[in-house]
Structure 1
Amino acid sequence: MKKFINRNILWSEFIVDTLLKFGIKNVVICPGSRNTPLIFALAKEKRIKKDTVIDERSAGFFAMGIAKKTKKPTAVATTSGTAVANLYPSVVEAFYSNIPLIVITADRPEILHNCGANQTINQKKIYANNSKDFQNITTESISKESFTRIHKRVSRILIEQKIDPGPVQINIMFDKPFEPESFTDSIEQNSLDYIFKINKNEQIKISTKLDDLVIPFSIIRKINSARSGLIIAGGGVNKQIAALITKLAKKLSFPVFVDASSELFFSSSQDIILKSFNQLAISKEFRNHLHPDVIIQFGKAPTSNSVLQFFESSRAFKIGINEQGNLYDPSRTTNKLLKSNPKVFIETIIPLLQAKKNSGLKRIITLDKNLTENRTKMIEKTNWMFEGKIYQELLKLIPDNSNLFIGNSLPIRDFDSYAIRGKRNINLFTNRGASGIDGIVSTTLGIASKSKTTFLVLGDQSFFHDLNSLLIAGHNKIPLTIILVNNRCGGIFKMLPAAKYKAELRKYLSMNYNLKFENIIKSFNADYFNITSWKEFEKAFKKIDINKLNVLEILTDADQSVKFRKFISAEAKKVVTKYYDS
């Protein structure tokens, strides 16, 4: 018996069924016409959680936030044309952050390409330089062979994405009509049954288990012969290995620097975790005393320029370890790069290492402690709204099990410099792949959609870039508390060498639009708080409803903050000098 069908709906339902087979349970939908078949197929599937986001740029980052929080692939589905291009910033960030993002793009059929048809661009492999894989699907054929062939290709892409996470594109070329009851074909019931059994009958075994790691003897020898060393925990290192890194550090008597983008930032309060290394690294005197023979870097490059400069100038034997086998070293001075899960590396190498006693380690830890205490006291005494104090005050107020997202540009650097590393049950998130200031609010909302109690700290330019994402919070009823640091646009530029060119800085870089955010924020039905003192900051936290969208705006003086940062650095150098002179 034959059944009337719409071929676009059939293909869409097949793709959705394939996504489910690989555990994709979250899809972000962007409204559009060309992706109508996908929308109908997704609407029908109750096992998939759907979120609707109007703007594709926000949608891509929102989907990426879901993937960050769930640590599972998340899909975003969009219509054709510039809608596809608007996803590009999130694809770039996902690529450089190794986030499993599945981009499903609806397209016009081949016959409508290169003839001036509306909303038609060449979107095949549009993300080629910044994605892991691509598959084009035409819906002209509904033969069993066509579905079997596409199933194998899409399955391969999704399997490889589990092993090597990153964005992938599935481009589907739909011709009209799109609606379920606009029939295009008739098909035998047994053929239809066959098509939907493909996903059940084709058993795909997925194994992401790494083979036993073979560590070159030269690396073991270098580490065993080292009199001193340093461990760097960068971005992309899972917080579950905090205890292992501490174990490795203690066996080797190597101090550990944890970067602001690392999940390990709040994982340990032990003294072997340096809390002020980015300030220690500024001091020439400290660099003259610390000569590590070996530096072991897990994950990505540090955020701090002073740490990067220390790394570059060091003559240590440098070992980079990450799951991608990528070089995360702008100085290109890494001696050995290993593609390995850090957990596998540590568990493999620890039995092969000799326990060390480093007489200089205690001195470094003592100096680090002195510097941290001195800086903390200096910041605590400030009664004006210094950006760096936000993190000390915030961490006193946010509850355990919270998500904390730190925005790019100045916020992440201030967090790195002034937040106190220690044991807290806080889930830390950043977008440090390409490190752009766009999509920050959208990404955080994606994270917040999967768990309650989420906080975001970002600058006014980042907020302005992603203002329309506040619609997501209202439409999807997502609670989020935003700490908006308003230094009147581009405060970070006042810390750079270009700052001495005041006319150009004022006109082209540090652009003060003098925006009044209050009315804009309230128009999105968010609760707004204007913070002018630290007492008000604390009071606002007691007033906020964490089940709603809240924005706490802190107006800061960028010029005053720059002077105070310089003062803190100068005092840090004095602490180091005094310590080594004693």
Structure 2
Amino acid sequence: MLSSANRNMLWASIFVDELARAGLRAAVIAPGSRSTPLAFAFAANRQITVHSLLDERSAAFFALGIGLHSGRAAALLCTSGTAAANFLPAIMESNHARVPMLVLTADRPPEARASGANQTVDQVKLYGDQVRWFQEVALPEANPSDLMLRYLRSMADRAVALAMGTPAGAVHLNFPFRKPLEPTVVDGDVPNDPAGSGVQSAHEPQLRISSGAHSPRVEQVRAVAEALHSAQRPVIVCGPRCGGAGFADAVQRLAVQLRVPLLADALSGVRFAHRPAGAAEVVFGLYENYAGSAVLPQPDLVLRFGAPPISAALERLLDGSSALQLLVSESGTYEDPVHRLGALYQCDAAELCALVSAELVSRSMRVATGWTAQWAECEARAATVIAAEFASDAVEGSVVATVGAAQPEGVPLFIASSLPVRHLDQFAAPRATLMPVYCNRGASGIDGTISSALGVAASSGQRITLVLGDLAFYHDLNALLALRRCGLQAIIVVLNNNGGGIFRRLPVAKFEPTFTDLFVTPHGLEFSGAAALFGLHYQLVVEIREFKAAFHAALAGYENQLIEVQTDSAAHEVARQRIIAALRPAG
């Protein structure tokens, strides 16, 4: 029902009503005064689920998590001033990861700006080119004309469509309001009959905006098919953020038909997915440990999907190869940090795989005898070496590999940036059951990790497993309050290596004591107090057998869980280097 107490309430109610008509189903609201009209409008709309978070930075990453899981924009609302600035890190991630988000900032009216008025900053284009679209929404006016109401509704429809367009991202609308901000009745402020204000249909949006997928052109299909047909040592590389529905099945079927190696990134949606017949023999995931080995010849064709892979070894292989490299991107975004691409094809990736498969079904391939078998041998040896190395110690890689193998089918896993996602990519073997994996891998910051994971949990309605490091946990501790406030469930695994363990992989690690003081930054914290503060069941483990028991017990239970694993990042790096030395013999 539209609120008609005053012009602000009517304006906000009409806008939120149109958001719901356009398909928006979630709003994340940080408390504040200037945003009161919009907060009341969201609270009154029965089609939109409202999540209340106390901290703006956390709220923004929570909204990001909703978009990550659902592929639909959540509204994100705050008051004026520095509150809006706290949204920026999540908006940057949204931009780089192409996650939809609708950012709504309340503002002072024009006469308060540049005047020294309290809590007033310049919010016009506050986020620069990190957003897909910015608009300053008109001030609410008394008895708005039908033109203004149509303008407001079309603004809502356009904002939702642009946030979820190609490429998806954040849209920012800035809403100035004069007082009164609360639903105080103001005589003469609204039309006599506001019930149908600006409505052209009982349920449909005023403006329907639709965009279809880019179907592959004939010449794109033929070019990819011919490249594959001519190659003797082709590989298919599926990086993070690969194609949507149907892609994992389509690309695996193509690899099976052609009998070529498919290298599946941990964030591709392909490594942990259902396998069509024969796919287990061509899908590989442990290549970070052996890519570039002298026992593997260089590929002569690389067909890429998605973003650049996490694996540093694979990136070096791509950089050092003279092979023709092709990238299929649904957004058409250039993503090639080594600048080796020979062609970029913007089209629907799943459809391209199916059409290329049909194009090649009756043609004999020229793939070198034993090419895929060589990759399979390296993959099997990697699994054996990793299992032996991780048999007893609770080094970080063994913990993450355990989670990757034990996580129940269909239950989401959120993995933090920095080391945890690298551990998952290096040590978690492919599995033939679905494990949805989420990560803030666009701008790859560690801030907002807990908030993003809980946003995924809120959107999915499932208990989520979150694996993160001690610094990422420390960064976002206040997000744990959302477990209780939003009725969410989580198993949280903290790899506590007492600081920034990832820096041990860099040359700067040789330069003590500055390395320890300013890069590792040991903190000496353990997190039982945080678990007690936010009501999580807590367990501290040191050995891998302890972790396996704790994790399986957590999966079987119902409480929110915090499992802290005390690890030694230096010892883990030594173990990792032993694995690599065993699997990448010098030529």
TM-score normalised per structure 2: 0.92
* Aligned mate of 2:338, from 320, 331, 335: 331
Aligned match of 1:580 = none
Pair 1:300 & 2:307 matched: yes
For structure 1, which segment, 359-368 or 43-52, has the greater mean C-alpha deviation from structure 2 after superposition?
359-368
Aligned to 1:530: 540
Distance 1:254 1:204 in 2: 46
Distance 2:4 2:18 in 1: 22
In the alignment, is residue 270 of structure 1 matched against residue 280 of structure 2? yes
1:543, distance to aligned residue in structure 2 (A)? 4.1
Residue among 151, 154, 157 paired with 1:152: 154
Q: Which residue of 2 aligns with 1:559?
A: 570
**For residues 506 and 534 of structure 1, what CA distance do their matches in structure 2 show?**
26
AA matched with 1:227:
Q
> Deviations along 1:124-183, whole A, 9 cap, x unmatched?
111121111112112243222222223333322322333322111111101111111242
Correspondence list, 1:107-506, <5 A: 107-141=107-141, 142-164=144-166, 165-183=168-186, 185-190=188-193, 193-197=196-200, 203-214=206-217, 215-216=219-220, 217-237=222-242, 238=244, 240-267=246-273, 268=275, 270-283=280-293, 285-286=294-295, 289-353=296-360, 354-356=363-365, 358=367, 359-381=369-391, 383-449=392-458, 450-506=460-516
Name the amino acid aligned to 1:572. L
1:411 alignment partner AA: P
Moved more, 359-368 or 448-457: 359-368
How far is the alpha carbon of 1:191 from its aligned partner?
6.0
Q: Deviations over 1:515-546 (max 9, x none)?
A: 13111221111111001222322332354374
Corresponding residue SS for 2:147: helix
| Percent identity between the two aligned chains | 29
Aligned residues of 1:431 and 1:440 also touching (Cα < 8 A): yes
Change (3 A) 1:362 1:198: closer
The count of aligned residue pairs is 570
Cα distance in 1 between the residues matched to 2:235 and 2:117: 59
Cα deviation, residue 396, structure 1:
4.5
State the match for 1:95 in structure 2: 95
- Whether the aligned pair in 2 keeps the contact of 1:276 and 1:371 (CA below 8 Å) is no
Which residue identity is paired with 1:325?
G
Q: CA deviation at 1:239?
A: 6.2
Q: Secondary structure at the match of 2:396?
A: coil
Shift of 1:54: 0.5
Superposed CA offset, 1:81-110 (max 9, x none): 111110111111111111111111111111
Equivalent position SS for 1:337: strand
Amino acid at match of 1:90: A
Q: Which moved more, 1:340-349 or 1:116-125?
A: 340-349
1:149 partner amino acid: Y
| Contact 1:232–1:296 (CA under 8 A) maintained in structure 2 | yes
> What is the Cα deviation at residue 201 of structure 1?
7.3
Q: 1:509 aligns with which of 490, 515, 519?
A: 519
Deviations 1:50-80 (CA, angstroms, capped at 9, x unpaired) = 1100101100111111122222221111111
Structure 1 alignment gaps of length 5 or more: 578-582
Specify which structure has the higher proportion of helix: 1
Shift of 1:348: 2.9
SS at match of 1:473: helix
CA distance in 2, matches of 1:77, 1:187: 24
Shift of the 128–54 alpha-carbon distance from structure 1 to 2, 3 Å rule, reads: same
Distance 1:551 1:201 in 2: 45
Output the CA distance in 2 between the equivalents of 1:448 and 1:482.
Answer: 12
Structure 2 counterpart of 1:547, which letter?
A: Y
Q: Distance in 1 between matches of 2:236 and 2:317?
A: 13
Per the alignment, in what secondary structure is the counterpart of residue 59 of structure 1? helix
Root-mean-square deviation (Å):
2.1
The one-letter amino acid of 1:207's match is S
The 1:368/1:240 distance shift into structure 2, 3 A limit, reads: farther
Between the aligned partners of 1:187 and 1:434, the Cα distance in structure 2 is 45
SS at match of 1:176: coil
Contact 2:231 2:301 in 1 (8 A): yes
Preserved CA contact (<8 Å) 2:494 2:562: yes
Aligned to 1:44: 44
Which residue identity does 1:233 align to in structure 2?
C
Please give the TM-score of this superposition, normalised by the length of structure 1.
0.93
For 2:264, the aligned partner's letter is: V
What CA distance in whole angstroms lies between the structure 1 residues aligned with 2:292 and 2:551?
Answer: 35
Which ranges in structure 2 are unaligned for 5 or more consecutive residues? Answer: none
